[in-house]
């Protein structure tokens, strides 16, 4: 008999709940983090104030999913990745197939979503189209329906699992539909039963892919963006909204709205735009001197260099490295990819110099001068003919939904409390520091 996702969670959840309860009982008053004035004003950077078991991000190693460094598991199929995030185990073939069949069964998108998308005004950003589509499907929520019928607290996760499977199955169909509608690529394409999740998404986008390399890129892309612990803007927003027992449609849509910001997921769009402007200005792959001048120009005009820096990482993002390996294998001669490489050889030094200048002027240093995932992903998409930059964050969103939903299911399983940190006023801080 196939051990389904639900069965294994039924086995594991009581163990995880007991483990948490014991930790809180035995060590509830142990201090794991202090908060400085700088952190309170500075986006709570580095404050350890929430729990996320799907993955951790280590400053010097990057993303580790359930104990596996990302690059060791970059070959997984999306169904396997979802199972791993949720359970901590890699499923066997039979279970993988069962999950695939769940997605096949749930992939039909309600007609009203297509109608809504057709009526959105011209020029609407694809991320706005995606977040709105998820939100409008809220009426389908299993969690909402069961809650209204008086569902027991212990069953919250089960209802959340139902919502998660529905959203994960539908989101690539909607996302691909948005691409085709928004950029006039023809009629919306449908899910093909039996075809894996990534190949399905690639296929529904309708990008020409005679050798299947774009589908391979999509598989890698979905794995590279799937999760990044709990504190990033999208996951943290989704977590907070879900903590009020708002259902998965409300919570994921909210998370996607956070992902749509240029300091977060939209950086992939911004980064390729920056690269293309750079190439246009210098007529192709720039030399080191031209590139230095261009990068300093961006910084001195008060803008950030997109794709560089990170709130947690202090080394090159392994997701960058994973994409770079793919690029070297499949598109080494592409001038946009070559420019990304050239940027990597120049920009970290420029950022370091600029950071030193900032420090001399009494400002914060740039904590990490190395590239993150967004510095490279767009160049690969561009190579395969996916050249509509504002669509790039939608691809990130399809992948990240899986991570956000895994975290939501676990939070409802654990009975995680409503999020409610304490804020203080500037007046309070002044008084407090005066008393020290």
Residues engaged in binding ligand NMX (CB under 6 A): 45, 263-265, 267, 299, 304-311, 363-364, 366-368, 372-374
Minimum separation from the CB atom of position 307 to ligand MLT (A): 11
CA–CA separation, 255 and 247 (whole Å): 12
Is 374 marked active-site? yes
Of residues 311 through 340, those in contact with ligand MLT by CB under 6 A are 311-312
Judged by beta carbon, residue 38 or residue 281, the one nearer ligand MLT is: 38
Residue 405 neighbours by CB distance under 10 Å: 29
Binding at 221: pick from ligand MLT, ligand NMX, none (beta carbon under 5-8 Å per type):
none
CA–CA separation, 283 and 410 (whole Å): 51
Judged by beta carbon, residue 309 or residue 322, the one nearer ligand NMX is: 309
Judged by beta carbon, residue 142 or residue 311, the one nearer ligand NMX is: 311
CA–CA separation, 229 and 85 (whole Å): 11
Binding mask 21-60 for ligand MLT (x = CB under 6 A): ------------------------------------x---
Minimum separation from the CB atom of position 310 to ligand MLT (A): 6
Binding mask 293-312 for ligand MLT (x = CB under 6 A): ------------------xx
Binding ligand MLT by CB under 6 A: which of 141, 243, 368, 372? 372
Binding at 306: pick from ligand MLT, ligand NMX, none (beta carbon under 5-8 Å per type):
ligand NMX
CA–CA separation, 126 and 66 (whole Å): 32
Judged by beta carbon, residue 310 or residue 383, the one nearer ligand MLT is: 310
Minimum separation from the CB atom of position 228 to ligand MLT (A): 3
Residue 56: beta bridge partners?
A: 64
Contact residues for 240 (Cβ-Cβ < 8 A; gap 6+): 419
Judged by beta carbon, residue 182 or residue 400, the one nearer ligand MLT is: 400
Is 239 marked active-site? no
Which residue's beta carbon is nearest to the bound ligand NMX?
309
Binding at 307: pick from ligand MLT, ligand NMX, none (beta carbon under 5-8 Å per type):
ligand NMX
Binding ligand MLT by CB under 6 A: which of 144, 170, 228, 382? 228
Minimum separation from the CB atom of position 231 to ligand NMX (A): 11
157 neighbors 16 (Cβ within 8 angstroms)? no
Given 264, 324, 382, 383, which residue is catalytic? 264
Question: What tokens appear for 259 in the block?
Answer: 């992902």
Of residues 232 through 271, those in contact with ligand MLT by CB under 6 A are 232, 264
Which residue's beta carbon is nearest to the bound ligand MLT?
232
| CA-to-CA separations, 315 to 62, 63, 388, in angstroms, rounded | 8, 12, 30
Given 144, 225, 239, 310, which residue is catalytic? 310
Is 310 marked active-site? yes
Judged by beta carbon, residue 233 or residue 340, the one nearer ligand MLT is: 233
Using N-to-C axis directions, what is the helix angle for 335-360 and 267-282, rounded to 10°? 100
Judged by beta carbon, residue 45 or residue 105, the one nearer ligand NMX is: 45
Question: For binding to ligand MLT (CB under 6 A), which residues are involved?
Answer: 57, 228, 232, 264, 311-312, 372
**Catalytic annotation, residues:** 264, 310, 374
């Amino acid at each position: 008999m196939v051990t389904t996702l639900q069965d294994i969670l039924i086995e594991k959840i009581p163990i995880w709940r007991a483990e948490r309860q014991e930790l809180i009982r035995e060590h509830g008053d142990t201090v794991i983090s202090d908060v400085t004035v700088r952190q309170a004003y500075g986006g709570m950077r580095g404050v350890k104030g929430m729990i996320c078991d799907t993955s951790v991000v280590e400053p010097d190693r990057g993303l580790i999913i359930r104990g596996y460094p990302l690059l060791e598991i970059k070959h997984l199929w999306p169904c396997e990745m979802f199972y791993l995030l949720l359970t901590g185990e890699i499923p066997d073939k039979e279970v993988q197939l069962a999950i695939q069949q769940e997605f096949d069964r749930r992939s039909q998108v309600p007609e009203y979503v297509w109608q809504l998308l057709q009526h959105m005004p011209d020029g609407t950003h694809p991320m706005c189209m995606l977040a709105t589509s998820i939100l409008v499907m809220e009426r389908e929520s299993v969690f909402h329906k069961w809650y209204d019928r008086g569902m027991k607290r212990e069953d919250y996760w089960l209802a959340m699992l139902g919502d998660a499977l529905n959203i994960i199955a539908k989101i690539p169909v909607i996302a691909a539909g948005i691409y085709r509608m928004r950029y006039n690529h023809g009629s919306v394409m449908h899910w093909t039963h039996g075809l894996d999740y990534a190949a399905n998404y690639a296929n529904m986008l309708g990008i020409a892919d005679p050798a299947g390399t774009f589908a391979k890129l999509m598989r890698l892309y979905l794995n590279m963006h799937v999760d990044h612990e709990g504190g990033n803007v999208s996951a943290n927003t989704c977590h907070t909204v879900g903590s009020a027992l708002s259902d998965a449609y409300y919570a994921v849509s909210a998370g996607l709205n956070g992902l749509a910001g240029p300091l977060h997921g939209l950086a992939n769009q911004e980064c390729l735009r920056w690269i293309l402007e750079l190439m246009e200005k210098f007529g192709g792959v720039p030399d080191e001197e031209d590139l230095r001048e261009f990068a300093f120009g961006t910084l001195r005009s008060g803008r950030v260099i997109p794709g560089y820096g990170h709130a947690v990482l202090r080394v090159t993002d392994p997701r960058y490295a994973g994409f770079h390996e793919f690029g070297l294998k499949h598109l080494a001669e592409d001038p946009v990819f070559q420019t990304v490489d050239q940027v990597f050889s120049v920009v970290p030094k420029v950022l370091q110099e600029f950071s030193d200048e900032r420090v001399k002027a009494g400002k914060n240093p740039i904590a990490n001068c190395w590239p993150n995932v967004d510095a490279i992903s767009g160049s690969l998409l561009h190579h395969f003919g996916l050249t509509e930059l504002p669509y790039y964050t939608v691809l990130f969103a399809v992948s990240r939904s899986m991570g956000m939903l895994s975290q939501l299911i676990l939070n409802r399983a654990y009975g995680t409390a409503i999020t409610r940190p304490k804020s203080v006023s500037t007046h309070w801080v002044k008084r407090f520091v005066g008393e020290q």
